[in-house]
Amino acid sequence: MDARECGRKSGSRPVPHSATLHAGYKNTTEMILREDIRASIAADPELWRDFEALCDFGGRLSGTESERQALAFLRKRGAQASGVSCRAVPVAYHGWRARDARLAFGDGSTAPCHPLVRSVATPAAGIAAEVVDLGRGTPEEFDAHREELAGRIALVRHELMFAAGTIHRRRKVMMARAAGAVGFLIAGPLPGACVAGSSGRDGDDGIPSAGISPETAARLARSSAGWPRVTLTTATEEAPAATETLLFDIPGRTDEWVVLSAHVDGHDLAESAIDNATGVAAALAVTRAVAGHIAPLRRGLRLAFFSVEEWALIGSAQYVTGLAARERDAIALNVNLDSVAGGASLTAMTSGFAGLEPFLLAVAEANGHKLRCVRPLMMNSDHGNFATAGIPAFRLVAGYDDPLANTRYVLTPADTRDKVTPSQLAAAAELSATVVLAACDAPPAEAQKWRSNRAPRP
């Protein structure tokens, strides 16, 4: 059963005249998505076509031809969906590319490994060191092995990304560095496959970091002879690089905005289908469906495609820091679509904005969608930059806290189009369109509540 099937109320629904919201959110008829808009998303053949086109470009790693093709495609598709021309804002960043990576064992055999994005290179001969297996790589495990890590390579496990209590890879790299480790290996969940990800490196310092398969990790188990010894070799190229943020503005009645965003870039292990061809295709479909209905509403819709998200959220960070205080205040809400299909459930990660949750739940319920709100701020996508700047922001994600959802394949070679169903993608687009229209039309007093980090009490 997918999100649409389990979320949809049975029986007939009223066909309201508009998606207009009124204070209090008691009159649910007023906040139900217009039937013609809902139907246009459900029957939109371009939603799946765009999703497949993005997958066809490949993983869209920033700095590759694959990313450039996707951006060129989106300049055109964004303009067609919104009816306005594209504003492309240049984004400068530290370009990085892996040329080679391998792991050699004492017996002369080798195993593949995949350098984490922006990992520093090893000397040409590699780093020869013992590997300390820290299991999952919790702070407790790092602490217990603190004395042993100096001069050695830390080995940890990749975790289910969209789950409560997940320890982000970036934290594990930092703990390894703090303990004096000279290298970092992370074992993926997929048999026979390496895992990708970002090293989280900021600046010039760092340790060589790479993803490996679970089988390679098994070969690195400690024995009575001690910690196993390997030689890790990574070769990289670094140079200043440029990409862009694509913006499409559909004005409302005032100079206030709702920003609908999705990141274009991904990793080069596969198609980056779930993460994030789903979000980009859904954002296009939402824009297509609502573009003609924005002008009479209070707020305009700004469609934003960011890149170098996998580079520590650089594209959106530059966008948000480039806004004047007045422009930041004029953004009522950021709706960030990242990995919105590939699981049966949809979750809004509300980034500490407790005051936003009643609005999102009311809109979802009125339209027969099940939605869960998860509150802690997680800097795991572009919404994090909006949230830290004080702009109400949430990330819509599929399969949160569901270990069997296909979102578990994100960052592996199995993040391919077959892990997503058309109905999951349509359900995410429909819910997003409903939230966007309601947010564009919400009264100022309601939008003010979204900025609160205090849970409202009746």
What letter does residue 123 receive in the DSSP assignment?
P
Supply the minimum distance, in Å, between the C-beta of residue 312 and Zn ion: 12
Is 271 a residue that touches Zn ion (CB under 5 A)?
no
Supply the minimum distance, in Å, between the C-beta of residue 279 and Zn ion: 7
* Burial classification of residue 99, based on how many CB atoms lie within 10 Å of its CB (0-12 exposed, 13-18 middle, 19 or more buried): exposed
Nearer of residues 50 and 338 to Zn ion, judged by Cβ: 338
* Burial classification of residue 409, based on how many CB atoms lie within 10 Å of its CB (0-12 exposed, 13-18 middle, 19 or more buried): buried
Which of the ranges 91-99, 147-155, 335-343, 448-456 carries the binding residues for Zn ion, by CB under 5 A? 335-343
Helices (H), 309-349: 314-321, 325-329
Reduced to 3 states (helix: H, G, I; strand: E, B; else coil), residue 144 is: helix
Supply the minimum distance, in Å, between the C-beta of residue 309 and Zn ion: 6
Nearer of residues 154 and 277 to Zn ion, judged by Cβ: 277
Nearer of residues 118 and 299 to Zn ion, judged by Cβ: 118
Among 199, 233, 272, 276, which residue interacts with Zn ion (rule: CB under 5 A)?
276
- Separation CA 299–CA 19 (nearest Å): 13
Nearer of residues 37 and 117 to Zn ion, judged by Cβ: 117
Supply the minimum distance, in Å, between the C-beta of residue 316 and Zn ion: 11
Among left, alpha and beta (phi > 0; psi -120 to 50; other), residue 406 is: alpha
- Quick one: which H or E segment has residue 421? none
Which of the ranges 34-42, 253-261, 337-345, 437-445 carries the binding residues for Zn ion, by CB under 5 A? 337-345
Identify whether the C-beta of residue 368 lies closer than 8 Å to the C-beta of residue 345: no
Nearer of residues 276 and 432 to Zn ion, judged by Cβ: 276
Supply the minimum distance, in Å, between the C-beta of residue 228 and Zn ion: 34
Interface with Zn ion: number of residues (CB under 5 A): 3
Supply the minimum distance, in Å, between the C-beta of residue 310 and Zn ion: 7
Is 441 a residue that touches Zn ion (CB under 5 A)?
no
Identify whether the C-beta of residue 132 lies closer than 8 Å to the C-beta of residue 145: yes
Supply the minimum distance, in Å, between the C-beta of residue 274 and Zn ion: 9
Which of the ranges 125-133, 148-156, 321-329, 331-339 carries the binding residues for Zn ion, by CB under 5 A? 331-339
Q: Determine the number of helices (DSSP H) and then strands (DSSP E) in the chain.
A: 15, 14
Nearer of residues 338 and 415 to Zn ion, judged by Cβ: 338
Is 338 a residue that touches Zn ion (CB under 5 A)?
yes
Among 44, 50, 249, 275, which residue interacts with Zn ion (rule: CB under 5 A)?
275
Nearer of residues 199 and 276 to Zn ion, judged by Cβ: 276
- Report CA-CA distances (Å) from 440 to 80, 174, 223, 300, 435: 21, 40, 61, 6, 8
Which of the ranges 142-150, 216-224, 274-282, 429-437 carries the binding residues for Zn ion, by CB under 5 A? 274-282
Identify whether the C-beta of residue 399 lies closer than 8 Å to the C-beta of residue 424: no
- Separation CA 328–CA 322 (nearest Å): 9
Positions in the binding site for Zn ion (CB under 5 A): 275-276, 338
